[in-house]
């Protein structure tokens, strides 16, 4: 009798701790391409991001490298199909003078990193090293122009130095002399960075006028084709800034508008790997704010650009916590399953807004903020965020499948958030991929996905999860959190039934 009662209690518990969610996938209405550039990265001269994390120099190092760049990092980034890399900052870009970091290494001008700790940099990693790295990775470079302490002339000359044909000027002669014969042809140019803050504390009106000078001079009537100019947008809900940009900059002078949003609690930044349930919920709230931030910016942009010609570029995003001193570098932090949750929901938000969001850059690639890679001397680990980016890469350049989503709530006290986030796409070979993230750290989720316009015969998948939301990989235990085969999805008629554990990211592949 006691056993029967126990079974009934377990049955009741199971029924209440597994929630029901409903998704309808309209595969027959897939019209928008998810730009691969949504899966881009950002590497700034900050702490151990560039020096040590990416670049170890070509002499006196035991770390295997190609032209000074760590081979392990190159391999890991290639495996992500890294589509683009933003550089040299961030706030660092707002004081960067590119000419100080070209030419023979011994003749480069050492500088003080004014944004991130006033330490000396020898400028051994400059324009050539960065653009050659992008070529090696097969990634598009995205250069951020110094609009704060720099000049219009400096920006114009940077464009000439990296993009113009041989023999055009003393700048292209100099490029040749420095060992690069053909131009790199850089498409993406950020005009300023956070101009409302470290980029000059400007007003929107002042920025717009300055932007027009840069955007006009960096291009001209003969070669403006092909340059993708990205204006600074807001980094907090200042929709008036967006309105000013969209109203004042003529159509022919802007291709993208950037926004920044971090999942951070500025009043109370806590540890990246030791945190409470309350702190976890608060960060999830901040991560979900991305949905509102994109939607509201898009609404403003629609007033002036209903055809969505100007792209929204989220060129800084990620979780931001207290620095972890063990990492020995500014903004170094650990990366747990909590970060995998941020990545899972944020990338789903970007996919679902693919008609407007056409590029994004996770901050930052190695050893700072929500990194995909952490390094310690010759060791390297891949973080839970890396694994989410790798699992989601199937969406790159695929066609977005519109979804209707009815999700259960993730509740804490009197607050609630959407527990399950989903996006889906159909790739060139006709396969459909569905990525799902369950941020609830107590409750598993049953998700019933009905398929319109897709007759699934086969489903397979991978899952990233762990026992505790604080779980992470370390240099001693680098594979604690890694993707595994997922057996929790079954086809039933025209639906796929998915059974997700708490704090999990699942990516399914469906074939007809
Ligand atoms: O990514 C770190 C910093 O965050 C960047 O330098 C700046 O643009 C932002 O405030």
* pLDDT tens per residue across span 39-74: 999 999 999 999 999 999 977 899 999 999 999 999
Burial zone of 54 (CB within 10 Å; 0-12 exposed, 13-18 middle, 19+ buried) = buried
Atom of ligand 1 at shortest distance to CA of 89?
A: 6
Same domain, 45 and 129: yes
Do residue 357 and residue 406 come from a single domain?
no
- Residue range 104-133: average pLDDT? 96
Using CB atoms within 10 A of its CB, is residue 12 exposed (0-12), middle (13-18) or buried (19+)? exposed
Angle at 465 between CA 459 and CA 468, to 5 degrees: 160
363 lies in the same domain as 406: no
- Domain-ending residue, one of 362, 377, 396: 396
Domain termination residue (choose one: 396, 413, 445): 396
Is 233 a domain residue? yes
Q: Is residue 357 in a domain? A: yes
Mean pLDDT across the chain, nearest whole number?
Answer: 94
Alpha helices (runs of H) in 360-434, residue ranges in sequence order: 384-392
Q: Where are the alpha helices (DSSP H) in 18-149?
A: 71-79, 127-137
Residues 136 and 275 grouped into a single domain:
yes
Residue-wise pLDDT for 113-127, tens only, equals 999 999 999 999 999
316 is catalytic: yes
Arithmetic mean of pLDDT, 11-38: 82
pLDDT range class, residue 12, cuts 50, 70, 90: very low
Report how many domains make up the chain: 2
Return the pLDDT at 60. Answer: 82
Question: What does pTM read for this prediction?
Answer: 0.95
CB of 140 closer than 6 angstroms to any ligand 1 atom: no
Considering only residues 15 and 74, tell me which one the structure prediction assigns the higher pLDDT.
Answer: 74
- Cα separation, 111 vs 205, whole angstroms: 32
> Looking at the domain assignment, is residue 12 inside a domain?
no
pLDDT (mean) for 197-222: 91
Q: Is residue 11 part of a domain?
A: no
Q: Which range of residues forms the domain containing residue 409?
A: 19-29+402-511
Residue 231 pairs in a beta bridge with: 191, 257
Same domain as 105, residue 61: yes
Residue 27's pLDDT is 97
* CA distances for 419 relative to 146, 288, 319, 389, angstroms: 41, 10, 18, 20
pLDDT digits (tens, 9 = 90+) for 212-222: 999 999 986 55
Q: Which amino acid residue places its CA nearest to atom 2 of ligand 1?
A: 90
Ligand 1: centre distance to CA 229 (Å): 19
Out of 129, 157, 316, 390, the active site residue is: 316
Tokens encoding 262: 């971090």
Catalytic residue among 157, 194, 255, 390: 194
Mean pLDDT along residues 157-177:
95
> Can you give the pLDDT at residue 468?
97
376, 358, 359: which is closest to 367 by C-alpha?
376
Q: How far apart are CA 158 and CA 140, in angstroms?
A: 17
509 is catalytic: no
Cβ(53) – ligand 1 distance below 6 Å:
no
**pLDDT > 50? residue 511:** yes
Choose between 460 and 6: higher pLDDT.
460
Are 162 and 272 in the same domain? yes
Q: Is residue 267 part of a domain?
A: yes
Between the CA of 91 and the centroid of ligand 1 the distance, in Å, is: 6
Residue 215 has a pLDDT of 94
Q: Is the pLDDT of residue 10 over 50?
A: no
pLDDT of residue 59: 78
Identify the pLDDT of residue 225.
59
Look up residue 255 and give its two tokens. 């291709």
Please check the confidence at residue 80 and state whether its pLDDT lies above 80: yes
Domain final position from 365, 396, 427: 396
User: What would the mean pLDDT of 294-302 be, rounded to a whole number?
Assistant: 98
Is residue 83 pLDDT above 90, yes or no? yes
Does some domain include residue 353?
A: yes
446 shares a domain with 389: no
The SS3 of residue 219 is: coil
CATH at 113: 3.20.20.80
């Amino acid at each position: 009798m006691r056993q029967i009662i126990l079974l009934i209690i377990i049955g009741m518990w199971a029924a209440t701790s597994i929630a029901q969610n409903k998704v309808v996938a309209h595969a027959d209405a897939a019209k928008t391409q998810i730009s691969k550039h949504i899966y881009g990265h950002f590497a700034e001269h900050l702490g151990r991001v560039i020096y040590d994390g990416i670049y170890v120099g070509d002499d006196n190092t035991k770390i295997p490298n190609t032209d000074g760049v760590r081979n392990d990092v190159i391999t890991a980034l290639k495996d992500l199909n890294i589509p683009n890399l933003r550089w040299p900052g961030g706030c660092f870009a707002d004081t960067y003078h590119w000419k100080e970091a070209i030419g023979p290494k011994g003749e480069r001008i050492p500088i003080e990193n004014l944004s991130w700790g006033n330490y000396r940099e020898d400028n051994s990693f400059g324009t050539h090293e960065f653009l050659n790295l992008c070529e090696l990775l097969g990634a598009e470079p995205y250069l951020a122009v110094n609009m704060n302490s720099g000049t219009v002339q400096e920006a114009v000359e940077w464009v000439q130095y990296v993009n113009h044909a041989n023999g055009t000027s003393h700048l292209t002669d100099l490029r040749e002399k420095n060992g690069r014969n053909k131009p790199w042809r850089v498409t993406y140019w950020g005009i300023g960075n956070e101009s409302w803050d470290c980029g000059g504390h400007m007003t929107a009106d002042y920025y717009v006028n300055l932007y027009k000078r840069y955007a006009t001079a960096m291009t001209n009537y003969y070669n403006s084709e092909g340059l993708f100019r990205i204006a600074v947008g807001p980094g907090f809900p200042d929709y008036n800034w967006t309105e000013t940009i969209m109203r004042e900059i003529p159509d022919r002078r802007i291709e993208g508008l950037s926004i920044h949003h971090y999942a951070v609690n500025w009043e109370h930044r806590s540890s990246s790997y030791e945190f409470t349930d309350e702190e976890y919920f608060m960060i999830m709230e901040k991560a979900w704010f991305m949905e509102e931030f994109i939607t509201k910016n898009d609404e403003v942009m629609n007033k002036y650009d209903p055809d969505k010609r100007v792209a929204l570029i989220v060129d800084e995003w990620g979780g931001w916590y207290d620095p972890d001193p063990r990492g020995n570098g500014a903004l170094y932090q650990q990366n747990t399953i909590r970060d995998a949750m941020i990545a899972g929901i944020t990338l789903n938000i970007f996919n679902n807004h693919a008609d407007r969001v056409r590029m994004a850059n996770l901050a930052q690639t190695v050893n700072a903020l929500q990194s995909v890679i952490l390094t310690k001397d010759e060791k390297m680990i891949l973080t839970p965020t890396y694994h989410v980016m790798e699992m989601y890469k199937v969406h790159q350049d695929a066609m977005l499948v519109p979804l209707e989503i009815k999700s259960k709530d993730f509740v804490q006290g009197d607050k609630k958030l959407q527990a399950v986030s989903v996006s889906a796409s159909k790739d060139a070979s006709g396969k459909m991929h569905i990525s799902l993230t369950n941020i609830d750290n107590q409750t598993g989720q049953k998700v019933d996905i009905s398929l319109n316009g897709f007759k699934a015969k086969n489903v397979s998948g991978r899952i990233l999860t762990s026992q505790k939301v604080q779980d992470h990989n370390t240099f001693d235990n680098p594979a604690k959190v890694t993707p595994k085969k997922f057996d929790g999805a079954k086809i039933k008629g025209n639906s796929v039934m998915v059974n997700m554990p708490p704090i999990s990211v699942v990516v399914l592949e469906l074939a007809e």
